[in-house]
Chains A and B, each alone.
Chain A
């Protein structure tokens, strides 16, 4: 549990003149669950997307499980296959059934035979509680079900790390619980997880560590109960006040 699996050093990302990340250092140990919180535009999604190089960093180093992704000789497709990602907008393949969504990358990227891929897929569908939806099309599922399928799809690649980019932000409130439940189970099973989220309760209960980002920097970092329960930084305090009690802290 002490071996680092993600090592980010001096990570910078600029879109043209806009500097979104201004030097991020982060080490995540195997099996750790790290939640990243912060106001919108703070760079937390961009940071997450740099971990599997969906965004190419302007400067800095990203190492995942001993492979330096930012190295020019790195086989990025191979490296990405070991990092699962779950998106805010689900992004299920609209033209494929749920089962095919789970098997297509296993077969085309990992070269697994069809039978094996389907077995893995069904195992993971069972894990997210959607075994009976294998034959459905994504459009027939609710948002919460789609996101659980998306998690199962990522898990079917047997990733070392799972990245979650605001996985519940696009969901109707009553569907959030199912998705968080699956994520909590995943954390209990020992998966290494990096989660960008606005769900403070989830972060508090599940995260080993919480990062508060603002303005392209990690402002505060520590145990969940410390960062959320007793933040040291003023910026963290005012952000949490707005998130946890928006009615009374508007414009604070």
Chain B
């Protein structure tokens, strides 16, 4: 199919853009910054903020690597090392991976669904502010030199008052609960948006796989996050108020914490991983110039993973000496969870098999992802074999496994997604040439850095050790790993620079630089505040490939369809459609910019600070602000949305 741009009037109808700008634009400057509820601005912020955390905690990893480069090294002492290790893990999981995916979801999902914003734009802004404030809250510990040092899963009793008396661990525990609010609210928003805001005709079996992956992720969040909130929450109750949940001397249980943590912990890793596969499922078909193979199987796999992921958490506790029979069950389920991934894997292979692959930068990252995730997944399957896990658990073999999956199978797709979608977000393309360079640096650096860790695990190197003696055969591999880590870092740095360069000097992208198939490519780049002046009508899984020209809906006068056409955009509305077959059902007046979300988030932040420093007054002030904001919110509901 020839590369054709969708003429913009197709989606914009005959309306004058200026007028719409008037209606939709945020207030300029600072007020607009704090009051905006535009899913695109919020999405971009999510991405930028998350990447800031990525680079910070990445740099910490580099310091750790320098310390481990040679035996008996003295770059940092054990105290600092343990803090770096803890912040690195916590930040990467809570403040980089989860939010960066939420960011892409925020920006791309409404565009792919063909709607003018998320279902709850104000909640959307709210969850972003919570994310930022919890990030600041967490890093404050580092800035005042009281960084937590309990490891990213903060096992008790080490993290209980008795063994970690300082305020350090309170920063950690409260931050976990704090950021959980953001993740949960975001998930609710994704679910409702996906079910109620799809363009007419986009029946449930026509939604892009990326949307499926976000949906699957959101449901996992709903049922998993409460568990970690409890784990950290109960720990904090013990630490702050002296309850006895994790205190063995008072009938508390040490393992209870582990169960709660990993009941969230395992689904969490799929919460990170599933949207990443969604990105790959968007990139590969476009670059292979053909629809994704076995769409229904892939969608099913995404849902299946969400379910199975709740039945494997004990595989993180194989060494705790529970009854072998009980653990064997979780061992088996952990093996079964391989199948959904296998399905996705071969769907991607089949897609490329019959297509013609263009080796663009996003595709390179896609292929890199496949080759890396294959290994990470296989080592995962090995870890699921309980007796083997007894040997390698808590060794560098595990560190290798989860960097192959986290840093490989999640970060590579994210970098691919930047090259893939940033042109849509900014209207400018990143340099392909530097993209290729960045990819190869990252790919080679990555394998140098993390492949050797498998072997280190075999040679008996435990994880989380601040230093090690020479003469154990660990020295060379660690040196290689460190070098690789730095090469990888430079690779990411190249993309970083490429990105900023593109922001101002990049080549114009046009509406549809990759000849994509989903709706986001039909509007302008960057999209207008209202995304679509008139909502497109979908009759295929690949509207931009199959529906030429792309038809747009118009009002037939009645309540249900009145916001489909340009007049909907003029009235600051967006259509509401039915859950499964996406027929127009009603109209949502989208709320206008407001400070509410920011205030609410600040209230909560103050409340947490109050807990942290055990100042009742501060806590009360926070709670008060919270109640006021909530009341105001409830008060305005009928006014703002029907």
Q: Do the two chains bind?
A: no
